[in-house]
Structure 1
Amino acid sequence: MRKWIKLLFVMAMVFSLILAGCQSKESSSGGGSKDGVVTLKFMGWEASPLETESVKKGIAKFEEVNPNIKVEYTPVPGDQYASKLLTMMAGDAAPDVFFLGASDYRSFQERGVLLDLTQYFENELDIDDFIPSSGGIMSIDGSIYGVSSCTVSPVLYYNKDLFDQAGISYPPSNPDEAWTWDEFTKAAAQLTVKDGDKVTQFGTYGFETFANTIAGILENEGSVFNDDFTATTINSPQTKEVLEAILTVKQNGYSPEAKLLEESGMSASQMLQTGKIGMLIDGSWALQQLAQMDFPVGVAALPKFDVASTTGQAHLHSASANTKHPEEAWEFIKFLSSEEYQTDLISSGLWMPNRTSLYTEEGIEKWFNADVHPEEFKELVPYFQNAAVDPFAINKLNQIDDIMIEELDKFWYDGQPAEDILANIERRVNEEFAK
């Protein structure tokens, strides 16, 4: 009897050692935990070194108040980011938490690769805490698979020195007083300077960039998709009017070709700083860089065709459906959408807030930075808060972006008529929807 008891005891000891070894091996695998500390792998794209630095500062704050969670951040180039992420997911090597472009969010969700955050979100947050564009992007049939990071929108930047030299009043920041398209083109003409036949200073640049063109179409009471996103409605008189108005600015020599910027070796922001262009249509995120370029930059509402508006969107933070640490992933995602995390990034000029609380008078004082935001910037705040949802953040077929850009390039650079281009877009896009 004693022998059997001894044998059972030895077997129990061996089994417990094997089990302990297995547990140790499991916990030390990628994204695991050690000594009670969970490591989350976090991936995002690097839009600029300034953005990466800001994100890393935020991570340090999170780790400070969550000593049980360590975050390993990997910034990667923005080109092909979505396809790289899908490849990692297919190889069971996805990060626990990651940036996800708004235009990719719904297509990823349909693939079943995103952790459903609905229960976590509803327990601690409220969709009404977010501005309408951010809330509209996050919610997919009432469920949440990613939490908005912030919001960004196309705006009008201008070089105040060039306006002063030309004796032109600054464009209004108050959306209710936004320039008409005619007022904008008149200023662009006055800001265009020639030396003989050569243009040495262009009035404006950037409206033909796809996102900015879309904003113009919406301003002209046009649309890109029908209400249920099953067909495109871009082939309309409103769109044709916008395209031809932008093209006229280019044909009149008020705006440089994109290849001129490439040949100059300067970015659009540098062109604005050095006085090569007077006005720049760009995303609100550009203010972070512009504010460090030591020249008097102004920010205004886009010139309006019919109504003064802009579009709002930004990346979301999502978690892999296969993460081994859903609770910790949620804690990190929640932090990435918090006032605490956003405030520094907004103060630097990179983002605008997605929380309604940061649009109150008291909330604005938390992030407004006089060293970054021009004095007239506060007038522009309602522009971001009330921005229309970028339609490409709701559309599930992200290959449609490529079709539209490809066709529009034929309009901008090959001289093909607007009606032909819009008909081609309508045919090709609706073929995609019909598949």
Structure 2
Amino acid sequence: MKKWIAIILLFCLAVFAFFYFFPLSNKSSEKEKPAKQIELTFLRNLGNQAYNQAYEEVIEAFEASHPHIKINMQSMHWGNEYELRLRTELAAGNHPDIMAIDSPNLALYANSGALLSIDSYMKEEGNIEDIPKGVLNGLTYNDEIYLAPIVESSIALFYNMNLFREAGIPFPSGDTDNPMTWDEVLGIAKKINNPAKGVIGIDPAQGFNVGEGPAYFKMPILWQFGASVISPDGTTAEGFINSKEALEALQFYQDLYRNHRVAAVEMPPAPFENNQLGMTILGSWAISELQRTPGFILGEDYGIAPLPKGRYQVVPNGGWALGISSKTKYPDEAWDFVEFATGYEGSKLFVEITGDLPARYSVAKSFPELNEYPKNIFIQQDQNYSKSRPVTPAYPVISEAIKELFEEVGREGKDVSSAANKAAEKINNGLKDIKK
């Protein structure tokens, strides 16, 4: 009995000691300190209402899952105007933590030291196998990834079904593995073209506009004929933009305006919607724009086919992507946001709101409409046949040179060889300036 009493007393002492030194209320211990609140500045380009809303909702979702990180988003301007303002801000030392950059301008920022390489982040946590290789190439400079994409872009042939019926022409196939050739498109344009009725056969590459549009829409014509703009090592344009293949492409383009006269330098307002234009090359975003045209219905008044091919089948890719400033004090937290916004969850939310093309295979698979006509055309082209514009610090010069080259060839009817040599010289001067 005495033995059991001793055991019970020892047990009671042990229990007393436990609760004395480790009370249930844990009053003697400090409460866990909350994580330090971090604020990141995010600078981006303005867009339409859906585009702006998408970014706001992506940030809201990110902050909900990362309460210690606050994203201060600033948006300004659009397109080239934004790029010029961003460069001005960076030159003045005003570096945002995160910035949106139009992917063809990537090398300009990376070469200047303004961008942080996110190569290790992307390869370890960015699930790069989920991004088409052609897209990833346009985000890479000197073998390192600098940008992460949310959405992508692509272009295709839009055709006026009313004019096709009137000319007795069968509608083209939507099979992205078997697009029409440019010669076939030319044959159709000749049948549709009717100057007496004010009907134009084709707008082959979005007329003659300003900004990045001319390079985006017209550079693929060079690629399709087997030409490149600059050498693979990015050192020269000589022998590339003025190569035999490039001259063939430029001559074909010029002949649409000057010889066959199935394309027009001056276009009437909304010719495609008003049954005055048989075919035109438009981006995926044009679907939602055309839906706002009363009485002009997809599948009844117009259809969409893959981009025509030349010797090769190739379409452009690229778009606004996210990068991290090399000057940020919080690279890991900035990556947390970039990873979220450009990953499956953020990209899916962005696509739901904007209707844009996702950059990731997984996101594309999650939207049934992206796997059906007509959006499947843009998705499949982007995933299987896309190419990025040259990744070089001299890209702004290249973009301007392409714009001027096609204007001189198409609008002004200048000799294609002379125009191409002039473009090569301009690009080479830009490449030399970068080296300096």
**TM tier relative to shorter chain:** 0.7 to 0.9
Q: Could you say which residue in structure 1 is the equivalent of 2:427?
A: 429
Q: Could you say which residue in structure 2 is the equivalent of 1:390?
A: 388
> For the Cα contact (< 8 Å) 1:101–1:315, is it kept in 2?
yes
Q: Could you say which residue in structure 2 is the equivalent of 1:410?
A: 408
TM-superposed CA distance for 1:344, in Å, is: 4.5
2:141 matches 1:144: no
Q: Could you say which residue in structure 2 is the equivalent of 1:40?
A: 40
TM-superposed CA distance for 1:378, in Å, is: 2.8
TM-superposed CA distance for 1:280, in Å, is: 1.8
Q: Could you say which residue in structure 2 is the equivalent of 1:217?
A: 222
| 1:349–1:89 distance in 2 versus 1, CA, 3 Å | closer
Alignment partners' CA distance in 2, 1:312 and 1:76: 22
Q: Aligned pairs, how many?
A: 383
Alignment partners' CA distance in 2, 1:330 and 1:46: 22
2:242 to 227, 232, 235: 235
TM-superposed CA distance for 1:348, in Å, is: 6.2
TM-superposed CA distance for 1:422, in Å, is: 1.1
TM-superposed CA distance for 1:325, in Å, is: 2.9
2:138 counterpart SS class: helix
Alignment partners' CA distance in 2, 1:67 and 1:231: 49
TM-superposed CA distance for 1:153, in Å, is: 2.2
Map 1:286-301 → 2, pairs under 5 A: 286-293=286-293, 295-296=297-298, 297-301=302-306
Alignment partners' CA distance in 2, 1:275 and 1:65: 51
TM-superposed CA distance for 1:235, in Å, is: 0.8
TM-superposed CA distance for 1:281, in Å, is: 0.8
Counterpart residue identity of residue 64, structure 1: A
* TM-score, normalised relative to structure 1: 0.79
TM-superposed CA distance for 1:421, in Å, is: 0.6
2:352 matches 1:326: no
Counterpart residue identity of residue 59, structure 1: I
* TM-score, normalised relative to structure 2: 0.79
Counterpart residue identity of residue 154, structure 2: S
Alignment partners' CA distance in 2, 1:351 and 1:203: 29
Alignment partners' CA distance in 1, 2:160 and 2:353: 19
> For the Cα contact (< 8 Å) 1:287–1:349, is it kept in 2?
no
| 1:57–1:271 distance in 2 versus 1, CA, 3 Å | farther
**1:298-333 CA distances to partner (integer Å, 9 max, x unpaired)?**
322111211222122222201222223322211111
Q: Could you say which residue in structure 2 is the equivalent of 1:375?
A: 373
TM-superposed CA distance for 1:80, in Å, is: 2.4
> For the Cα contact (< 8 Å) 1:346–1:367, is it kept in 2?
no
| 1:333–1:305 distance in 2 versus 1, CA, 3 Å | same
2:109 matches 1:108: yes
2:248 matches 1:250: no
Map 1:35-434 → 2, pairs under 5 A: 36-71=36-71, 72-194=73-195, 196=196, 199-207=197-205, 209-232=214-237, 233-251=240-258, 252-257=260-265, 259-260=266-267, 264=269, 270-293=270-293, 295-296=297-298, 297-346=302-351, 350-358=355-363, 363-364=364-365, 366-369=366-369, 375-378=373-376, 381-392=379-390, 394-398=391-395, 399-434=397-432
| 1:317–1:389 distance in 2 versus 1, CA, 3 Å | same
| 1:417–1:155 distance in 2 versus 1, CA, 3 Å | same
Counterpart residue identity of residue 223, structure 1: S
Alignment partners' CA distance in 1, 2:80 and 2:377: 35
| 1:350–1:160 distance in 2 versus 1, CA, 3 Å | farther
Q: Could you say which residue in structure 2 is the equivalent of 1:29?
A: none
> For the Cα contact (< 8 Å) 2:156–2:378, is it kept in 1?
no
**1:65-106 CA distances to partner (integer Å, 9 max, x unpaired)?**
333333324142223222211211222323221111112111
1:375 counterpart SS class: coil
Q: Could you say which residue in structure 2 is the equivalent of 1:4?
A: none
| 1:173–1:349 distance in 2 versus 1, CA, 3 Å | farther
Q: Could you say which residue in structure 2 is the equivalent of 1:21?
A: none
| 1:160–1:235 distance in 2 versus 1, CA, 3 Å | same
Alignment partners' CA distance in 2, 1:219 and 1:35: 54
Q: Could you say which residue in structure 1 is the equivalent of 2:14?
A: none
> For the Cα contact (< 8 Å) 1:156–1:300, is it kept in 2?
yes
1:282 counterpart SS class: strand
| 1:351–1:247 distance in 2 versus 1, CA, 3 Å | same
| 1:61–1:175 distance in 2 versus 1, CA, 3 Å | same
Runs of 5+ unmatched residues, structure 1: 1-33, 265-269
Identity %: 21
Q: CA RMSD in A?
A: 2.8
Alignment partners' CA distance in 1, 2:127 and 2:348: 19
**1:394-426 CA distances to partner (integer Å, 9 max, x unpaired)?**
122122221232233222222211011112122
| 1:323–1:237 distance in 2 versus 1, CA, 3 Å | same
TM-superposed CA distance for 1:37, in Å, is: 4.1
Alignment partners' CA distance in 1, 2:401 and 2:285: 26
TM-superposed CA distance for 1:432, in Å, is: 3.1
| 1:177–1:63 distance in 2 versus 1, CA, 3 Å | same
| 1:193–1:304 distance in 2 versus 1, CA, 3 Å | same
Alignment partners' CA distance in 2, 1:101 and 1:329: 19
Q: Could you say which residue in structure 2 is the equivalent of 1:12?
A: none
> For the Cα contact (< 8 Å) 2:104–2:138, is it kept in 1?
no
**1:214-261 CA distances to partner (integer Å, 9 max, x unpaired)?**
11211112222211111111112222222222222223443232x535
Structure with greater Cα Rg = 2
| 1:47–1:322 distance in 2 versus 1, CA, 3 Å | same
Counterpart residue identity of residue 229, structure 1: G
